[in-house]
Structure 1
Amino acid sequence: MSRPALLVLDMVNELVHPDGHYSHVCQEQVASRGVIDRARVAIDRARLAGVPVIFVVLGYSDHYEDWPSGSILFGPPDPERRFTLGSWGTRVHDELAPQLGEDVVVKQRISPFHGTNLELLLRARKIDTLLLAGVATDLVVLLTALEAHDLGFAVEVLEDTTATASERVQDAALLLAARTAVISSVDRSLPLAGQDIA
């Protein structure tokens, strides 16, 4: 019998809240796809089923020296340092907020495994299956699916809890993720008690 965990990836205010400085990256798709509502359902169902929920957030130290300034994706540090750990921007969206005792893993790169204790947490709990929710689909979700596969985890991408810059990029990212993961949904991977799995 599988032992799943739900990973909620980069659902922080700067990226998914309408007031987030970087929300333009995927806000249109987050809104049109109802991603926050679907992620809320996934989190609620996971908790009811006793499935661990682990949040992964992007965050940097006050001095910002851990920002990857040479990266094409990240670019030069934001002068406002909106991703300083503990700031509003790095907090999980209020509708998805972690409960007391749930793990929040802080990362400084795209990958949730790079330089973090995520794998140790998963191994300690004997987790063998990862259910992925988050943004952006073509970045953290896709890379997590690839890396988790190579680490020996089964992976299911809950596609209705993911979004990126456009429908075209979303479809391409899911097509690539399907090489190493099952493309699923909240209802298929986290059905309500007594609900048939589609």
Structure 2
Amino acid sequence: MTVRGLEPGRRAALIINECQNAMIDLSFQDNVDLARQATERKITRQIAALADACRRSGVLVVHSTIVLRKDGLGMTPSCLLLGSLLKRGTCVEGNAAAEIHPDLAPQPQDYISRRHHGLTPFHGTELESVLRQRDVQTVIVAGVSTNVGVPGTCLEAINRGFTAVVPEDAIAGISPEIHDFQVQNLIRLLATVTTTDDVLTALSAVDR
């Protein structure tokens, strides 16, 4: 099956957004609703399959994280979401909560893009330069959340001239209702919405 944005000859990168313990691991009890949905939807299994396939195909795997400094410098509580993150104080450098989920542990060839502030992987980071260096045309967006992070990543990518592809079974929001609403009414306007299996098939045919 052909996935728009992953046609043979196009260069892609996988962006795994905020798959940190504080976000998707229920044992950390930080974002309980989001972590529960990520667990029930088994997104780490799907994302791990995508990451493995990308590495085999020479497709760059990017782990985008938000990690606060211990003193909070650089993080401005300019909206409710960022204010809540700062107030909880768990996703802080050196804390296990800020680490990438062990099921998605980065490999040496992966790229870790860390930011202290903002809601998307492109804000205040060198991500765009990294993608340009690799001549990337399409970003495959996975992770959390369907509420903000995933559509925000797609929008920022589009603003920079990239095409976005979203495997719907590799993302999660804080509830099934919000997830479905966002996918149907927002994300599909910004990206090709597809499945992990279809992305895996497309990756196997893309000429690197």
Query: Under a length normalisation based on structure 1, what TM-score does the superposition of the two structures give?
Result: 0.91
Structure 1 residue aligned with 2:60: 52
Normalising by structure 2, we get a TM-score of 0.87
Superposition map of 1:1-198 within 5 A:
1-75=9-83, 77-78=86-87, 81-107=89-115, 108-175=117-184, 176-191=186-201
What value does the CA root-mean-square deviation take over the aligned residues?
A: 1.8
**What SS does structure 1 have at the residue aligned with 2:170?**
strand
Give a deviation string over 1:48-90, Cα, whole Å, max 9, x none. Answer: 22111000001111211222224212225336x3121242111
Letter in 2 for 1:130: V
Alignment correspondent of 2:5: none
Contact 1:13–1:91 under 8 Å retained in 2: yes
Relative CO higher for 1 or 2, CA cutoff 8 Å, sep ≥ 6?
2
Q: Gaps (5+ residues) in structure 1? A: none
What is the identity, as a one-letter code, of the residue corresponding to 1:166?
Answer: S
Moved more, 105-114 or 9-18: 105-114
Match of 2:4 in 1: none
Structure 2 unaligned spans of 5+: 1-8
Q: For 2:22, what is the secondary structure of its paired residue?
A: helix
Q: SS in structure 1 opposite 2:64?
A: strand
Q: Extract structure 1 runs of 4+ deviating beyond 6 A.
A: 192-195
Residue identity over aligned pairs, in percent, reads 26
Report how far residue 141 of structure 1 moved: 0.5
Aligned partners of 2:197, 2:109: CA distance in 1, in Å? 25
Q: Is the 8 A contact 1:45 1:192 kept in 2?
A: no
